[in-house]
Amino acid sequence: MASVRDADTSGKQLGLRMDDASYYHIKAPSVPARPALARSIRAETAIIGGGLAGLATALSLAERGRTSVLIEARTIGAGASGRNGGMVSAGFAAPTRLLERAAGPEAARSLMRLSREAMDLIRARIDRHAIDCEPVSGVVIASWFDDGEALAAEVEEYNTRYGMRLEYWDRARLLRDFPSPRYWDGMFDPEGFHLDPFALCRGYAVAAEGMGARLFENSPATGLRRIAGGWRVTTREGEVTADRVVLCQSAYPPRLLTAVARATLPVFTYIIVTAPLTGAHAGVIRAPYAVYDNRFATGYYRLLPEGRLLWGGRISTQERPRDLAGLMRRDLALVYPQLADVTIDHAWSGRMGFARHKMPLIRELTPGLWINSCFGGHGLNTTTLGGELVAAAIADGDRRWRLLAPFAPRWVGGALGPLAAQAIYGRARLQDAARAYWHRRRARRRTTVA
């Protein structure tokens, strides 16, 4: 039986429901709350949303000597940014073949390069601002399918076309550190890394404030209006008038702008964290890298500094299924039967915003109104990229954001959108399971014949 510990006082202090605080929120040191916005203020740029997208925008503006006011509905990092898997890797939620098809090979290469530069920028900021977010290098992509040739070709393609430094790992190499009976072979990405994302949010917030950004918590924006010479954002008790506004609210209500709400699909995904692994459990996973597999419905994990295992996966229209810990434990046991009886200490869900094409929405919607949102399940590097593109455009007239021009906001299907997403996910899970079954059967036959 899963024994899931409730969020303790630190979760409550962060304004999160008892069942809504992640492991990161619970273990974080308590810090004084920032004020709520309760008066009328002026800003060059108003940013709505205190996840990594909003914080990265504030920090990139500050680094260019530009000031901003950021308002967050709850507390900094309360959304996906402070409760995710913590894996930082190149690329976007959309596959590279979609980038090439929609934007062309040249633009796809530029976008991939920018996504990797954002990873360098995160590392540089961690060092520059002494952000204590426990970064660890190395991400492994484990293959669920017996198709080594295709995987080796993929490694070659990523390296030659996008300048990555992936290594092909055969089965023996992969299983030495990650002994799952489900895995065949894999790729190792030495440039990828993993970290505590809530600590990164807090680090970005403090760094931006240190350079002049003003941050307000518990201040949901309830209205957005164009006024002479700019925009007015209203909150319950205050307002910001600004030359421009950057929308970074992901898939949360209220609907400030119909065009954005219509183009944003909310999707939920889940994580568990075990108790510190001891005895036989402790020796199962033998390397400190983060791992995800190449199913559409991927499962991912990483060891945490206390010897706990973080396991994540699934996407759903349901914010919190009844037996979240049990559901996730079954997924973990499918990959590692050796860990089927570990104690689960924490279980939580997170809300992601997806655009229809799975690429982020980064653009000027109308003069002075920017969006930097919809990073889907691949937001750690891309939110920093989005912050850079928007800030460089505002401060220097930089036009690199136009590389994302082909990825415009498109209707995501209204009330039927989440159901369609759930159906696509369900079908992909079945396809992956069938393909893996045939590969295992074929391998068994080969062994019998031999």
Ligand X SMILES: Cc1cc2nc3c(=O)[nH]c(=O)nc-3n(C[C@H](O)[C@H](O)[C@H](O)COP(=O)(O)OP(=O)(O)OC[C@H]3O[C@@H](n4cnc5c(N)ncnc54)[C@H](O)[C@@H]3O)c2cc1C
Residues that bind ligand X (CB under 6 A): 48-54, 71-74, 78-81, 83-87, 220-221, 248-250, 252, 254, 269, 271, 312, 350, 352, 373, 375-380, 383
Taking the least distance from each CB to ligand X, the nearer of 230 and 377 is: 377
Q: How far is the CB of 320 from ligand X (least distance, A)?
A: 12
Cβ at position 210, least distance to ligand X in Å: 20
Burial track 154-175 (b if 16+ CB lie within 10 A, e otherwise)? bbeebeeebebebebbeeeebb
Q: Please, which residue, 169 or 301, has the CB nearer to ligand X?
A: 301
Question: Sign of the CA dihedral 291, 292, 294, 299?
Answer: positive
Listed residue (337, 341, 316, 315) closest to 326, CA to CA: 341
Determine the angle formed by the axes of helices 197-210 and 105-128, rounding to 10 degrees.
Answer: 80
For the CB of residue 153, give the shortest distance to ligand X in the complex, in Å.
25
Helix axes 148-162, 105-128, angle to 10 degrees: 80
Which residue, 146, 142, 138, is CA-closest to 174?
Answer: 142
Cβ 438 to ligand X, closest distance in Å?
A: 29
**Close Cβ partners of 269 (under 8 Å, ≥ 6 residues apart):** 312, 313, 314, 315, 316, 349, 350, 352, 377
CB of 240 to ligand X, least distance (A): 11
Q: Residue 320: name the closest of 8, 116, 39, 17 by CA.
A: 17
Closest separation in Å from C-beta 265 to ligand X? 13
CB of 13 to ligand X, least distance (A): 16
- Give me the least distance between CB of 81 and ligand X, in Å please: 3
Q: Which is nearer to ligand X, 175 or 194 (CB)?
A: 194
- Closest CB to ligand X among 20 and 72? 72
Nearer to ligand X, 230 or 386 (CB): 386
- 175 or 251: CB nearest ligand X: 251
Torsion sign, CA atoms 10, 14, 20, 22: negative
In the bound state with ligand X, the residue whose beta carbon lies nearer, of 71 and 94, is 71
Task: Give the Cα separation of 219 and 237 in Å (integer).
Answer: 8
Cβ proximity to ligand X: between 68 and 269 the closer is 269
